[in-house]
Every structure is written in C-alpha cells, then in structure tokens.
C-alpha cells in the first residue's frame, strides 16, 4: 500500500508558522518576534512598528507609535513599505544604519536617532526628504569647489544624484501643497527645512543653505508667538522645537549668522555639559560681533595702527569672560561625581576645541601682525590633541560624510593657517583629511587644500610654493612678510566662459622704503589628485601691485 504523499512543510523545521507578525515585518518578509505593543525588530532598527492585525478583522490594524512622539504630527494614514519602491527602503536602511550613527551626539542625538526615523514613517514630506538626504550621502560626490557662497558647483549628472534630487523636489512639492491647504503643522515645516539645509550643504550650495536657515529661524520665531499659533502645541512639539532651536543655534554660531540671542553671560557655576555648551555659545556670539566690527575697522588701517581704548576695553572684557567660562568648565569636569564616559569625553574635547579657537581669535582681534599668533602654540597643540579624540581614524570608505552640526573643521582650518609651527599645523591638516567630510557648509577637503597651499607659500616665501607633507628639517618660523593675512579659493571665468579656480591670498609686504602695505596675489590652480593625496599644480601668479 503506497504511503500518502506528505504535504510540503512551510516555514522553519520545529516551528509552527505564525501569521500574527506585525504589519511592517510582514511587508518586509521578515520574521517578527511579535512583542506587544511593538516588535523589537522594528524598534532596534529605528522603524515605526505599524502594529498587528486583529483576529477576524482582516484589512484593519492598530497603528502604534511611542507615546513620546504620538502627538508630534497629526497626518494622514502613514505610508508603509508596501507603497514605496525597494530602492527607497534600501536608502532608509542606509540612513538608519550608516547616516544616523555618524551624526553628532552633542546637540541633536534625539533628532537623528529617534525623531526622524519615526516621523519618516508617518509623514510623506519627511520621508522623501530623508530618502533624498540618505541617497546624497550614500553616493557622495565631492565637488572640489570653494566654500564661497557665490561659487556654484557643476550640474549634477549622475543617476543617483538625479534620483535624490527628484525625491527632494517631491518633498518640497508635498510641503508646499500642505502649507497651501493649511494641513501641515509648523513642526513638519521646520523639520523639513532642517533636512533641506542638509541637502543643500551636501550639494555645496552654502547660500541656499543659509537662506533656508533664515527661513527656519523665521518659522521658529513665528510659532513662538501666541497670536500665530493656530492650534494647541503639544508637549512633544515643544520638545521638537527645543531640539531644532539648539540645531539652529549651533549653525548660527558656526556661520556667524543672526539669531535671537536672549541670553547674557553671567558666569554661573556649570553643572552639565549642555549648560557649558549653552554658556559658551553666548560668548561665541559676543566674540562674533567683536571680530566683525574689528575686521571692518582694520581694513584700511596701516601696519602701525593703534586701536582705540574702547575697542581694547571691549576685547579685554570678552577675553575675561572666556577665561571665567574656562575656569568654571574645568571645575565642573574635575568634580568627582562626574562619570567619565566616552560620550562625555568627546563632548568635553569638542568644547575645548571651540573655546581655544575663539579665544585665540579674540586675543589677536586687534593685532596687525601675524607673528602675534606664535605665543599661542601651546593652545594650538591642545586644540589638536582634543580634536584627535573626536576624530576616530577610519578607512576612506567608512569616513563619515556629513554632520549638520559644525564641530571641528573651521577650528582645525584656523590652526592650519594661523599656527606657523610646522608640526602642529600639519597635524591639523591630517585631521581635516581624516574626519567628517562635510560639517554643515564647511567642507574638510576644500579647507585642507587651501591650508596646504597657504603653508606651501609661507614656508617657501614664494606664491609658487608647494606644500610638503613632511615638516622642514629646520624649524624656522616664517617671517612676517611671508605670512598670509587672508586666503580663499575663488572661481573666475575667461572670455569663453570657461571657469578657472584661483587661490587668492593677501599678505603684508614692505617696499624699498620699508613701508608696509597689503598686497593681493592670485595663483591659478589646475589640481589633479594623485594617490596618497598629493597634487600636481599648474601655476599662474597675478599680483595687483
């Protein structure tokens, strides 16, 4: 008698196939651990668990989201993975697994690690913006252009970038439609604006990023006024607003942009790193105002200019405030109750780097001599040491691409161009080459290029000088007339409309009568990156003498 044919087994051996998994895992065709109210697989990957289908109620489900974020957005039915392309799912997974861990933990940990992954699943505007941002980071294309706002990058030609910009445009269109219909809450608009800033920074469009920053600030100020609040603000929305305000404050400080200051430095005892950061930001804004004012005043002054007493008094007051902050900060970090955890060590070092950078700028803000920076060699070295704790050595393919928060790029650039100690400035350039590639609008490799060209000019004493990766055997410091007062990369077009990049520098030089004057030089650069980061340079020198 023939044995009846056995029915092919479905599922894993030794387990009964379950039909009770969450909706998200079913769509992704993954095994669900079926934990309630939300499965652990979704939560650990930053996904929003869309709940479970009730027995006997096919086609309906209970959507779940954490109570802390449930009221942040009131939107239409949230999109699920069933309604998007597989490439979008892959981009989102890249965002969660690669982009989020690289993002800053100083200001915006909650924003990147919790808020965005969850809101992406409930708001199509944010979903499209996140996918666009993730794609631009995954397929990062360094333009090699200047950080000067007027300079535009070449048109995007890669398919990955076209696709990313299509998602970007889709997000903007949805946001505009929602705003026109009055269906978009202010938090959606502000969070989207933050993401749009990131996208413009990655495309090397600093002027567009700054315009979006100004729009975000205007929206935050408008929503803070009671007469502009069309609906009750939830506790979660207030938390989001606080996080976004911290992000904008950081961008304002690093870009020297206007933002409602509101706070006055009063040297309170510091108890947390967040309090130390906020107190330091107050000083940064005061330093910015001072540096902008003195730069305008010194523009047409002779080398032997003596600053007026009111400027000296202002400088001394800001300097004393910085020293008071540093003393309070050191007292806080020496407190035995404080736990020395890795996250705090990084934040501690970051505040030291920022403090050192601005303290030196304030102390030299009225000086007409570049040699006055030489007395700060110990502080420059301290900045580099702390920056090395922030920048973890990684292979080129694992090097972080982008952070919204400005951390160390402008400070390390300041060390590279203003510290004339040959070893310290090369350490700073090396850190620029190994750290995050883009911090807000600051591009590390571009800044490192300018720094290397500047070092080559100063150490050779010629505008044709080429950077040598190894410090010179003799540790002689460059004289004043070899040092650059200012430099940048600019792009000019010839009569045929072809763009050529120039390294523009300005330095003090003496004529035959020993009279000092500022002289501009421009050197045409045709740079081809070789292995080991070296350059071949075709040079053209133009002087306005």
78-131 pLDDT per residue, tens: 455 456 788 998 999 999 988 988 875 666 677 888 888 888 988 999 999 999
Backbone angles phi, psi at 436, to 5 degrees: -55, 135
Are 48 and 42 contacting, i.e. CB atoms less than 8 angstroms apart? yes
* Average pLDDT value for residue range 305-314: 97
Per-residue burial over 39-57, b = 16 or more CB atoms within 10 Å of its CB, e = otherwise = bebbeeebbbbbbbbeeee
pTM, whole model, 2 decimals?
0.77
Q: How many CB atoms lie within 10 A of CB 152?
A: 15
pLDDT at 194 > cutoff 80: yes
Are 482 and 509 contacting, i.e. CB atoms less than 8 angstroms apart? no
pLDDT at 45: 61
Mean pLDDT of the chain: 78
pLDDT at 458 > cutoff 70: yes
pLDDT at 13 > cutoff 90: no
User: Which contacts (CB < 8 Å, 24+ apart) does range 528-534 have?
Assistant: 533/433, 534/469
pLDDT at 498: 78
Q: Is the peptide bond before 37 cis (omega within 30 degrees of 0)?
A: yes
Percentage with pLDDT > 90 across the chain: 43
| 223: helix, strand or coil | helix
- Which pLDDT band holds residue 258 (cuts at 50, 70, 90)? low
pLDDT at 57 > cutoff 70: no
* Average pLDDT value for residue range 328-347: 74
- Which pLDDT band holds residue 167 (cuts at 50, 70, 90)? very high
* Average pLDDT value for residue range 422-428: 98
Are 216 and 193 contacting, i.e. CB atoms less than 8 angstroms apart? yes
Q: What is the pLDDT of residues 369-411, one digit of tens each?
A: 999 999 999 999 999 999 999 997 777 777 899 998 889 999 9
Identify how many contiguous H helices and E strands the chain contains and give both numbers. 18, 7
Domain extents in the chain: 18-57, 88-255, 269-346
pLDDT at 315 > cutoff 90: yes
pLDDT at 509: 94
Q: How many CB atoms lie within 10 A of CB 19?
A: 8
* Average pLDDT value for residue range 169-176: 95
pLDDT at 21: 75
- Which pLDDT band holds residue 77 (cuts at 50, 70, 90)? very low
pLDDT at 531: 30
pLDDT at 73 > cutoff 90: no
232: CB partners within 8 A, 6+ apart: none
pLDDT at 327: 94
| CATH 3.30.499.10 matches 18-57 | no
Q: What is the pLDDT of residues 122-164, one digit of tens each?
A: 899 999 999 999 999 999 986 544 444 444 545 445 788 899 9
């Amino acid at each position: 008698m023939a044995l009846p044919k056995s029915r092919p087994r479905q599922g894993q051996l030794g387990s009964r196939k379950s039909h009770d998994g969450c909706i998200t895992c079913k769509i992704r065709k993954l095994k669900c651990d079926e934990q309630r109210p939300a499965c652990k697989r979704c939560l650990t990957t930053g996904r929003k668990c869309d709940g479970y289908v009730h027995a006997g109620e096919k086609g309906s489900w209970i959507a779940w989201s954490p109570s802390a974020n449930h009221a942040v957005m009131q939107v239409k039915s949230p999109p699920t993975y069933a309604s998007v392309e597989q490439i979008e799912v892959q981009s989102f997974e890249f965002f969660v697994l690669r982009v989020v861990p690289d993002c800053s933990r100083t200001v915006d940990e909650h924003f990147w690690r919790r808020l965005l992954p969850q809101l992406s699943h409930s708001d199509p505007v944010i979903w499209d913006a996140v996918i666009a941002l993730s794609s631009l980071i995954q397929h990062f294309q360094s333009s090699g252009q200047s950080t000067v706002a007027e300079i535009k990058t070449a048109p995007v030609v890669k398919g990955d970038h076209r696709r990313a910009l299509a998602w970007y445009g889709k997000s903007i269109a949805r946001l505009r439609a929602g705003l026109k219909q009055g269906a978009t809450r202010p938090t959606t608009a502000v969070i989207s604006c933050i993401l749009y800033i990131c996208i413009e920074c990655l495309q090397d469009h600093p002027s567009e990023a700054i315009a979006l920053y100004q729009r975000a600030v205007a929206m935050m100020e408008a929503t803070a006024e009671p007469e502009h609040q069309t609906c009750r603000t939830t506790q979660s929305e207030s938390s989001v607003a606080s996080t976004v305000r911290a992000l904008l404050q950081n961008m304002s400080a690093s870009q020297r942009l206007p933002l409602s200051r509101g706070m006055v430095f009063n040297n309170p005892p510091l108890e947390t790193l967040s309090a130390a950061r906020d107190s330091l930001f107050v000083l940064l804004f005061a330093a910015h105002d001072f540096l902008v004012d003195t730069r305008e005043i010194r523009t047409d002054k002779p080398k032997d200019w003596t600053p007026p007493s009111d400027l000296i008094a202002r400088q001394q007051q800001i300097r004393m405030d910085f020293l008071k902050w540093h003393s309070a900060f050191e007292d806080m970090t020496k407190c035995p109750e404080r736990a020395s955890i890795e996250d705090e060590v990084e934040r501690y070092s970051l505040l030291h780097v920022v403090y050192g950078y601005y303290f030196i700028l304030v102390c030299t803000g009225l000086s007409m001599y570049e040699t006055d920076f030489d007395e700060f060699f110990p502080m420059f070295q301290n900045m580099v040491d702390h920056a090395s704790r922030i920048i973890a050595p990684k292979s080129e393919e694992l090097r972080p691409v982008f952070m919204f928060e400005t951390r160390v790029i402008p400070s390390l650039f300041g060390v590279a161009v203003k510290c004339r100690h040959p070893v310290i400035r090369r350490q700073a350039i090396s850190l620029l080459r190994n750290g995050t590639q883009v911090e807000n609008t600051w591009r590390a490799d571009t800044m490192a290029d300018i720094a290397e060209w500047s070092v080559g000019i100063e150490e050779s004493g010629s505008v044709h000088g080429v950077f040598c990766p190894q410090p010179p055997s003799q540790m002689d410091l460059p004289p004043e007339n070899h040092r650059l007062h200012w430099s940048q990369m600019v792009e000019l077009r010839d009569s045929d409309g072809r763009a050529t990049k120039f390294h523009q520098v300005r330095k003090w030089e003496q004529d035959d009568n020993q009279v000092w004057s500022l002289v501009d030089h421009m050197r045409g650069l045709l740079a081809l990156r070789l292995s080991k980061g070296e350059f071949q340079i075709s040079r053209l020198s133009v002087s306005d003498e």
